[in-house]
Amino acid sequence: MTEIARKVALAVALPIILIATWWFATANSTSFFWPPLSQIVEVFPRTWFEGRFTADVVPSVVRLLIGYSIALVLGIGVGLAVGSSRILRETAEPVLEFLRAVPPPVLVPVIMLFAGIGDGMKVSVIAFGCIWPILLNTVEGVRGVDEVLSDTARTYRLGTTTRVRSLVLRAASPQIMAGARQALSVGIILMVISEMFAASNGLGFTTVQFQRSFAIPEMWTGIILLGLIGVVLAMVFRIVERRVLSWYLGLRTVQRKG
């Protein structure tokens, strides 16, 4: 229990310090663009929990999760294929590097031409941006599978499905999860950016509307809410990551003790 309390204390210490600093630094602020934190906290509930939560926040998170899930499935699937085949990797690598270098926000007008201005466009932008960290990390993870283990699997004549599920995916999972973690951060950014173009709802759209109408405290609540959503998603991801990589984390613990 003492160890758990210590970890919790370390995790919340810096946020508490930063919030306290912000609170006291702006307590007597008269700046229109830098209102007191107390005022921001005061308007937070009525800004987001009186209709806007279901109208703006929920649609944003749903679009993020759908786009992220599409990127996860495609990134891992294509990454497995490319990483497992030298010929395919040499053929696809230049194209993958080119597409990865294209910033997703630049493609928003192009995607709008094909997907329209609805949720499809926003999901496509998120999926396009999230897929590259997952795909490229999957490729490197598959390439890094121990050759001895691969030869052993072939010697025992394991089927393709069994070999991919039991050996390749498991061995590549640390790098796949690293790419998925990076993609989650990218997805949150693209969620906001995609809602700045021809949108009528969403967290990014509403925050920008507050800024344009000079509702500065409400604008700050949107920024804070984005940060809170990022923290919650990161915590959920960490829980999933610990379950998926339990064998890997256990192995590292044994190696450190050894």
Helix/strand/coil (H/E/C) assignment for every residue in 45-100: HHHHCCCHHHHHHHHHHHHHHHHHHHHHHHHHHHHHHHHHCHHHHHHHHHHHHHHH
Please indicate, yes or no, if residue 40 is contained in any of the structural domains: no
CB proximity list for 248: less than 8 A, separation 6 or greater:
173, 174
pLDDT of residue 215: 92
State how far Cα 196 lies from the chain centre.
Answer: 19
Contact of 112 with 52, CB cutoff 8 Å: no
CA distance 84 to 81: 5
- Decide if 2 is inside a domain: no
Q: Does 243 reside within a domain? A: yes
Q: What is the pTM of this model?
A: 0.89
* Mean of the per-residue pLDDT values of the chain: 87
CA–CA gap between residue 179 and residue 131 (Å, rounded): 9
CATH classification at residue 236: 1.10.3720.10
Q: Once rounded to an integer, what is the mean pLDDT over residues 111-131?
A: 87
- Tally of structural domains, the chain: 1
Residues 83-97, mean pLDDT to the nearest whole number: 86
- Residue 55, in any domain of the structure: yes
Q: What is the domain range of residue 103?
A: 48-257
Decide if pLDDT at 1 tops 60. no
